[in-house]
Structure 1
């Protein structure tokens, strides 16, 4: 299967891998925004669900293979959970890497914006009755508060923080507080909002400026700073961080890339934020 690849600079390539598909409730994904408004920008199905990809982004730079997010993995969901989360396809990250002449053993770093199930279930695999690392040679970067909550979820967060997503990888995890620059020009920045430890990714290489806002802007339809998720633990923090990062990036005509968007892999708006002036779209013909 042909994968969407973006040669950002002479020394930096982004490739979207196939991490699986979920269909989440549209009302929850757009919070208090009325359906007549959000459905103009992002189509829902007959069950009021919207399609959300869970496609990790492979960054190849400076001789390193860096994965952003991990997909929804395999064999992590009961039939009931698959129905509830609208899972129609599990991860094919292995196959995607093989198409590039790589394997899971070739991943050097995994950058986690947060550890909710739809981002983190791909970190471990079942080997019989034992959980083992999906990327055994990688360092996994997780914000410190996020890692602690994953291991000690509260009454609400236990529905999205699975023990299966930390058991088996503890020796690979490195935590940080405010930000971490894993390689030159590739940085995770703590924002909070969606979760207490939620982070975003900023790439600055050459003249390119690229943002991955993760789940404070999971799709292009969430560009409006007030359009935040009902899933957000701290929605006012999400709004504040979108004001801080999204508005300035649009003004600079920076790129935005996405893990969840069913239509766009990456795009650039004009300075008004009203018109898409460049984009990389998802190729549905290959599915």
Structure 2
């Protein structure tokens, strides 16, 4: 296993190394096609101490029936079903984190249509339990792309640059479907105002943890089968078509609107950012409002970058066109 890590603060082994219960946070909406297969992969985890919290956002297919059937088999202490806020997948995930009855040492985001490797939880916890319990920590990984029948069809992009706030400002490093995190990260995320428009819960988690001096581990070996189908809410970011889609969104101003939303939400946490990251954020905000020459100078000075060379060149093009 290869990890790329980032930290602006100390890491130290926690006093307790015995794996604790994991709260698996699942957002569901009309997911009948693949839900049972995903639930079976959760049940097959080599780490046996978990509870599934499924928040349904108003499904009108058999999703709730499937969840209720699994709850009757697993017990109400292993599968909890709640009603979502009906405001999209990101708001649904964050609403779970705000629940007062959600008590756990570790947490995992879970999509309804993927398939977890049996050791997904075990591998994430093996890293998390060596981080000080009061330090925000986030584990994530590459994904194995699978088709509707579960056959492997490729891999998500491999990122080699260390996770950082400078990267998080303009890019999410991994899908939420691979993310595990500790209670310190949960406490950060649950402080997000409920009326904020969060573009994506995984990108937001990456922003907050790196910005507030936490530690992130990105594992190059896939731990999740990321199913590709026509109803995917967020694509894999792999392949020519997906790259073309990102370019189109940049020219249409979508990327800049995402920046607006993220920075507006991040303002609530400005005092929680490390001094270095507050300076980075200030330079980035000034760059977005500056004229062309000054804009490019400030972007370079801020250190903001994407993971790949082509991505960073695309970021430069977006800066020139004032689309960031």
Give the TM-score taking structure 1 as reference length.
Answer: 0.28
Which protein has the bigger strand share? 1
Which protein has the bigger helix share? 2
Give the TM-score taking structure 2 as reference length.
Answer: 0.26
Structure possessing the higher radius of gyration over alpha carbons = 2
